Chains A and B, each alone.
Chain A
Amino acid sequence: MAQKTVSQAAKPGLGVDAELAKRLFRDMALIRRFEEKAAEAYALGKIGGFLHLSIGEEAVAAGVTSALRPDDYAISTYREHGHCLVKGSDPRRVMAELFGRIDGLSKGKGGSMHLFDKSTNFLGGHAIVGAHLPLAAGVGFKIKYEEGDQVIVCYFGDGAVPEGEFHEALNLSALWKLPVIWLCENNRYAMGTSLERALAQPEIWKFGQTYGIPSEAVDGMDVLAMREASVRAVERARREKIPSLIEARTYRFRGHSMRDPAGAVYRTKEEVEREKLRDPIVLFRDRAMKAGLITEEDVKRIEKDINDLVDEAVAFADASPEPPLEELYTDIFKENA
């Protein structure tokens, strides 16, 4: 099952119809625009704490999510705005959460790193590196326990791979045959530590082989390649109840967080500029237009819709009240039914 080369989408006509092409473009554009606006709001002091942007990595979230059913689960890291948005959360409520307001997904109590949405089966942004991988295995366990046919996709970064929990969770998922898609967003830097400085085996997909898990490396800047690999992994999980590991080779154009705006200490400007030439949104837009799936008018319309939607999200967040002080002491324990 494992492939030695990086998978590229190769089907003629791109293998998608116009409707799906528009959705993929729209989803990526939404993440990009949302995060650009979030960065602005951060600069204005509207958003505090840590804010981790996934600009440059949008093809992963969009491609993977397009392979999921609405009732499938997703769980993620603290760089999860995109995963949450394309899973179907209301951008207004996501932005309100970033603003720390009562209309946020978590009533303002989670923030950028802790987005949860039960209505879309989005199981959270988790901010201890590696810690949510066992949780994902647990959701796979639950699906199997109840003999369901859902799957869970678990996003994590290359920084989670040296953590013990990565290995514990992969082992358990393979041992117990759980329907989990392990989705490593390899953006080559764990904060400021490059892959080569962190892993004795920098080919991350190979760790899946160790546990007998179908594994492949995919061009994470290619939304169609991400989608195709995800469709294969979802199919295996849904029908055969087995996990897969996808190593999405991607790149974040921004720094680790807003406190590392340029990410300039640990990587060269030349490298960043070179990677920006692989902008997943531009690449896909051009390919889809060339294939006649999207017109220039479509692009303009989608971009305008997205801009309006995100502007509305910002306005909504800004107008939403702070959580009342009583919220400090709610949701610590659930009242027993």
Chain B
Amino acid sequence: MAVMTYREALNLALREEMTRDPRVFVMGEEVGLYEGAYKVTQGLLKDFGPKRVVDTPIAESGFTGVGIGAAMTGLRPVVEMMTFNFALLALDQIVNSAAKLLYMSGGQYNVPIVIRGPGGPAHQLAAQHSQSMESYFYHVPGLKVVRPSTPMDAKGLLKSAIRDDNPVIFIESETLYNVKGEVSDDPDFIIPLGQAVVRREGTDVTVIAYMGMMYRAMEAAEDLSKDGISVEIVDPRTLRPMDTETIIGSVRKTHRAVVVEAGAGFAGMGSEIAAFITEQAFDDLDAPVERVTGASAPMPYAKNLEKAKTPTKDRIVDAIRRVCYANGG
């Protein structure tokens, strides 16, 4: 075990996988000479050379397509989106090509590509650089979608994503790159895709949250413990395939559920999680499932408005109290 930042954990995962498998290469805007807009690829050009650390012009659809073409003929590209918001320019490549080639070819051509980069709320980056992009991808059959919250998960899940034979959308966060935590330095350590984790055990209510919202939920849980409310927090880690079993198991135990997401809410991740909890564990529920979501508005620039757009600890606390019928309790 070593203590390192989320950024360093991603960098280590890339290094280990590039060392392990010569077919793995990194491609994207500023990944080489500039060492990554957020320095995730720091030092890779020096250590692996320009053949395997490929700087691209600003052509998201073009270089994502290059990655897909290389993947369908045997390479294992890791394509960086400087921010995932830019993946919208490559959305057709991801949705119509990467996700569908295996199916359309009747199983002949798989696309082992990882598309990674930061997404979600950051710090005053305004409307075009702060979207919670996962909702654009987890709807699509054929894509796996990962949102790793901790340095350990960042490393273990990125390694699994690179080894996966399918396209994986791997969305990090600007706000987490400097978070420190324990990370396995064993090159064989991986975290399988599709496994949720219980971040905090509790008995009264299950909160499902990931990325920055998971940390806010942990703070809310800490506050509520002082009032005698015991909160269990489940981090799905992989949004597709979703580990419904762990979430349902937790809800059957606590009989209450709150889903937190930074995205705009309507038809969001919270909607899907609330739906399957209701379908699979209705009789176990003592209260309706609550969703705490970002406001249905573009991300504003002004600090105060930005704060109001994204779920706060207080809103999470209020929702938990409501499902526990502990308002003012």
What is A's interface to B at a CB cutoff of 8 Å?
73, 75, 104-110, 114, 116-118, 123-124, 126, 128, 131-142, 145-146, 164-165, 168-169, 171-172, 175, 330-337
Contacts and interface: CB of A to CB of B under 8 A. Distances in A.
A209 to B, nearest CB: 19
Contacts of A107: 106-107
A110 to B, nearest CB: 4
B191 interface: no
B106 A116 contact: yes
Interface string B216-257: 000000000000000000000000000000000000000000
A137 B97 CA distance: 14
B91 to A, nearest CB: 11
Contacts of A168: 59, 61-63, 65
B196 interface: no
B68 A138 contact: yes
A140 B62 CA distance: 13
Contacts of B70: 138-139, 141-142, 145
B92 interface: yes
Interface stretch (B114-122, B158-166, B320-328): B158-166
6 contacts: A128-B96, A133-B65, A134-B65, A134-B69, A137-B69, A172-B56
A83 to B, nearest CB: 15
Nearest to B96: A128
Contacts of A133: 65
Q: Which 3 pairs show the lowest CB-CB distances between chains A and B?
A: A138-B69, A134-B65, A168-B62
Nearest to A143: B73
B34 interface: no
Given A75-B69, A168-B59, 8 more contacts: A114-B105, A134-B65, A134-B93, A138-B67, A138-B70, A141-B69, A168-B61, A168-B65
A118 B69 contact: no
A134 B59 CA distance: 10
B75 A145 contact: yes
A137 B104 contact: no
Contacts of B56: 172
A134 B66 contact: yes
